[in-house]
Amino acid sequence: MLMPLELWYRRLCRYWVTDLESSDLTPGREEQLVRSFIRESGRADPDRLGDVTDLLALGLASSGWRNTCVERWHAAGRIGEGDMMRVNCYTAWSVRQRVRRWMGDGGLAPDMPVSVLDKVDEDAVYRLMTRVCGWLVDRHRRLPAGGTLGALAGPDISAYAMAAGTVLSAFGSLTETRGTRFAFARGAAHGALACRRWWGHPNWPSTVDQFSRALDNPADRHWGENGAFRGNLPPEPPDVADRNLLRKTLLTSPWRLSPDAATWVAAAGIGYLYD
């Protein structure tokens, strides 16, 4: 059972808080917690570089996109549930691609031990953050939901750019104060904890399996008492009714779902399955 300090730190990791001063938390204990979150919540190896960087990509996508003023846009109905799911997934994939290209540029391979990050300096990390941030805030980039970021953000584009820049700068600062290996691990812990229902998380295939089973079982407990939740959903769009197509798309590229299918899948609660 987690102690209060561990619960507190788990919450900080979920919300990308970087001011972690606490008289009760030593650097060694903090590193232990981060490793445990990567292993247990992330279902990944904290000593394998590829595992850590893929979870880091999720953490960067969550903190630099989803957990900014984009949340307010979503709450205000400027982007619906289905489109938000598609954009989140595409953002996670795109950030991962940039992280992997950065690794290749630096001669880093996924099967290397995470300790190789001890030789990666702050300037290299800032180059990565600049690359990711530049893509995130580009007002001309196309969204899977249609249109551009600039069209979605409108007059809020500057506020979003500042929010994303602040988050990614804080990551760079953490690298300076605690080292690249710890900064990457802590970003990975955020991805592990906050993105368990996102494409790209090691838990995603089992989420898709669980959702697929529930779709064809009206008695599945996901649908609540007497299947009421399932019964209140609208008819399935064709690319949901085609279970093989749906499963393949969810596993490989959920951002390619049709707007109707994405809206239906989100309404069906793929992000709220029981564990």
For 232-243, the pLDDT digits (tens) are 999 999 999 999
For residue 250, CA distances in Å to 95, 115, 149 come to: 18, 33, 23
The parts of the chain modelled with pLDDT lower than 50 are: 1-2, 17, 19-23
The span from the CA of 67 to the CA of 167, in Å, is 10
Return the number of other C-beta atoms located less than 10 Å from residue 147's C-beta: 10
Rounded to 10 degrees, what is the CA torsion of 192, 193, 195, 196? 80
